[in-house]
Structure 1
């Protein structure tokens, strides 16, 4: 390659900024999709108030 064919550093910086922004937006879109599309399975939990201090129950049972 000759010096005339090389992209300028300004162009390279903007391409890298664009790639970083696209990666950021894509990752966040994926997280939103997974949060909306996934439905966790029902898990056994305490339905009544526990006797020991560390026993907690679900705020509202989903199933």
Structure 2
């Protein structure tokens, strides 16, 4: 019974560590994407559009 208890504790701690590692890696990926992307340089209309459904940037950064 003691071997079974230690095996289940080992499994629980391994799963907790794997979950924490996955959480840290996912957040590291979000930070990487946030700092590497340039959302202000998205293709958009430069001139004022006459029709509806056509958008343009309020202030062009590119």
- In the superposition, the TM-score normalised over structure 2's length comes to 0.70
- Structure 1: gaps spanning 5 or more residues: none
Q: Which structure has more helix as a fraction of its residues?
A: 2
- Alpha carbons of 1:15 and 1:43: their partners in 2 closer, same or farther (altered >3 Å)? closer
| 1:32 correspondence with 2:31 | yes
After superposition, the C-alpha distances for 1:4-34 in whole angstroms (9 at most, x for unaligned) are 5xx5201211111111111111111111112
Q: Provide the C-alpha distance between the structure 2 equivalents of 1:38 and 1:52, rounded to a whole number of angstroms.
A: 30
Task: Write out aligned runs for 1:6-45 (5 A).
Answer: 7-39=6-38, 42-45=41-44
- In the superposition, the TM-score normalised over structure 1's length comes to 0.69
Q: Provide the C-alpha distance between the structure 2 equivalents of 1:43 and 1:32, rounded to a whole number of angstroms.
A: 20
> Runs of at least 4 residues of structure 1 off by over 4 A?
none
Query: Over aligned residues, Cα RMSD in angstroms?
Result: 2.5
Q: How many residues align structurally?
A: 59
Higher relative contact order (CA 8 A, sep 6+): 2
